[in-house]
Amino acid sequence: MSRTAIIERFRADEWPSYRNLRLRALTESPDAFGSTLAQELPRSDEEWEQRLLSGIGSATDLPLVARLGTAPVGLAWCRLQHAEHGTASLYQVWIAPEHRGCGIGRCLIETSVDWARMKGAQQLALSVTCGDTPARRVYEQLGFIPAGQPQPLRPGSDLMEQPMMLSLI
């Protein structure tokens, strides 16, 4: 099987894939995200569909899927922030464990970087759980640097997340 991943915007009818990837990410990597499986599992199909449609129909959102052949194996969501002029943010980055280490995560992030730059953003922001993790390493390799003090991953959590920023200019 070819290991070359295709990175593209989710299609509107792919909300079940989006839901399945997101729930698998929250199950497999609960410490990597501010949101939790307990928060997202109860969402109805209509909510998942609307959530994806709102991103697909927006010029300020880029919901991305990574595919190997026809199989969805990862996701990311990039968004231009209206409140902070010139800043885009990256969320929900996750690759299925059986397909990690093949460059797919880097590809997803680079696609988001290219889109944010094309949209005129001057910087791309994200937060990553503190520690020596593959996520932290891939962001550093791509030029992200710490931006500000670590914050709790979620209210009441002992886990901390580090805000990071990549200059796009």
Chain contacts with ligand COA (rule: CB under 6 A): 29, 32, 93-95, 100-106, 126, 128, 134-135, 137-138, 141
Residue 86, both tokens: 């010139």
DSSP state of 14: G
Nearer to ligand COA, 35 or 53 (CB): 35
How far apart are CB 76 and ligand COA at their closest, in Å?
8
First to last CA, the chain: 38
How far apart are CB 42 and ligand COA at their closest, in Å?
22
Nearer to ligand COA, 49 or 64 (CB): 64
The pairing of beta strand 71-80 with beta strand 61-68: antiparallel
Nearer to ligand COA, 50 or 81 (CB): 81
Q: Which residues contact 51 (CB under 8 A, 6 or more apart)?
A: 15, 18, 43
